[in-house]
Amino acid sequence: MLDKNKIRKDAEQYLIDGSYDKATNELEKLSVIDTNDPWVWNSLGECYANTQDDRRAVKNFMMAYRKFQRQQDIQSALSALERVVQIDPSNKEAEEEKGNLLKRLSKEGMKPVREDAKKIPIFSEIEEGELNDIIRIAKDETFQDQALIIREGDKGDSIYFIISGIVTVSKKDKDGKNIMLDTLSDGDFFGEFGFFTGGKRQATVQASGTVELYELKKQEMEEVARKHPNISRVLVDFYKKRVLDDIIAMTPVFSGLTYDERSDLISRFELLVVPAGTAVVREGETGDALYVVKDGTLLVSTVGPGGTEVVLAQLGEGDIFGEVALITGKERTATVATIKQSRLMKLKKDDFLDIVQKYESVRTMVLKVVNERAEDTIQHLFGKA
């Protein structure tokens, strides 16, 4: 017997990952098991729209529209129709139904979307019907100058969108020194790490002048995203960019880069998910890439005198490895293996060498790290002189 809950969970994850073909397979199963769930048809519409099958996309969005309407979820029904019109502007049925719904919502006193909300870049890829659902659950908040909005290390499950004003974002490095990561202003967002993972806040955010924000709680946002898969996709895309930038900014080799320079670097990285117990690089191999640990735990080891394994270090979020072989052109000096499943960012050799040549701050820090690693390895193998 098919497990409806498991199929749905798998479909949701595939949608978040952007694996639309896999999501389609799971959703087609659900469409047979649970024919009255509008989310299934709406999600199928998104899958087909993202795989350029416009005919099937329109068919499924229209089905979602009818299911939403039967449930009296008029705003979601409107969103489904807007997707149809976006894909097929000549669809007269969708245009007519959209006009009827707008009249109905106007009579029922639908709260209009604030113009400043429409200007938030992250919402630019979201249809007005979807945005209506988001704004309906959003909490307006105002913070005065120097007010602490979120603190690094605290628990948090909400994400914030800046309507107006400026905030500063800072984070402590491994030595406890406060590092300024960025300043954010109108249209930017923050708090995404706690929002997506339920973990601790990864940075401190403070108001610089009066700041007006939208606050969205995770549980409420998930309810809206279940109706509108497009919202999950947009949020996750932004999340990936922000998290990668934070890690790069905290990585010593790249800490001297400006925001624009980090963006250039991030665009070159490939994301990898590596199972536990996997050797990512092996001692003696030729170096062909540099890695940054996004999350997870890895062990660095080498073969010592007599063939015994010598543990050199344990790596975690923000650490880098593989750079020594790239710079020196020599074989890998150690083996790095995952202790548990880890997500890594891989930078290929050609891209790394281009960045080193392009940015002097990176070149200087790379040479420093190479020297430190060489000294550390010698001490582990032979002890202090």
Q: Would residue 237 count as lying in a domain?
A: no
C-beta neighbour count of 149 within 10 angstroms: 20
Q: What percent of the chain has pLDDT over 70?
A: 82
Tokens 């969708």 map to which residue? Answer: 94
Average pLDDT score over the chain: 80
Q: Which CATH number covers residue 377?
A: 2.60.120.10
Q: Would residue 255 count as lying in a domain?
A: no
Q: Would residue 211 count as lying in a domain?
A: yes
Q: Looking at the structure, tell me whether residues 18 and 38 fall in a common domain.
A: yes
Q: Looking at the structure, tell me whether residues 276 and 367 fall in a common domain.
A: yes
**Rounded distance between C-alpha atoms, residue 192 and residue 189, angstroms:** 8
CB 270 within 8 A of CB 346: yes
Final residue belonging to a domain, choices 47, 80, 110? 110
Q: DSSP string of 83-114?
A: HHHHH-TT-HHHHHHHHHHHHHHHHTTPPPPP
pTM of model > 0.95 = no
Q: Would residue 157 count as lying in a domain?
A: yes
Q: Looking at the structure, tell me whether residues 224 and 266 fall in a common domain.
A: no
Q: What is the pLDDT of residue 236?
A: 62
Q: Would residue 87 count as lying in a domain?
A: yes
Half-sphere exposure of 279 (CA within 13 A, CB side): 10
pLDDT band, very low/low/confident/very high, at 385 (cuts 50, 70, 90): very low
Q: Looking at the structure, tell me whether residues 103 and 36 fall in a common domain.
A: yes
Q: What is the pLDDT of residue 325?
A: 75
The tally of domains found in the chain comes to 3
Nearest 10 degrees: Cα torsion 331, 373, 308, 278: -70
Q: What is the pLDDT of residue 281?
A: 92
Q: Looking at the structure, tell me whether residues 372 and 299 fall in a common domain.
A: yes
Q: Would residue 240 count as lying in a domain?
A: no
Q: Would residue 246 count as lying in a domain?
A: no
Chain-centroid distance of CA 141 in Å reads 24
Helix or strand or coil: residue 205? strand
Q: Looking at the structure, tell me whether residues 294 and 218 fall in a common domain.
A: no
Q: Looking at the structure, tell me whether residues 87 and 160 fall in a common domain.
A: no
* 103-146 tens-digit pLDDT: 776 665 555 455 566 667 667 667 766 777 777 788 888 998 88
Q: Is the predicted pLDDT of residue 339 greater than 90, yes or no?
A: yes
Q: Which of 151-165, 216-230, 369-383 has the highest mean pLDDT?
A: 151-165
Could you tell me the residue range of the domain that residue 292 belongs to?
262-382
Q: Looking at the structure, tell me whether residues 273 and 338 fall in a common domain.
A: yes
Q: Looking at the structure, tell me whether residues 274 and 220 fall in a common domain.
A: no
* 171-223 tens-digit pLDDT: 887 777 778 877 888 878 888 777 765 667 888 999 988 898 988 887 777 77
Q: Looking at the structure, tell me whether residues 10 and 91 fall in a common domain.
A: yes
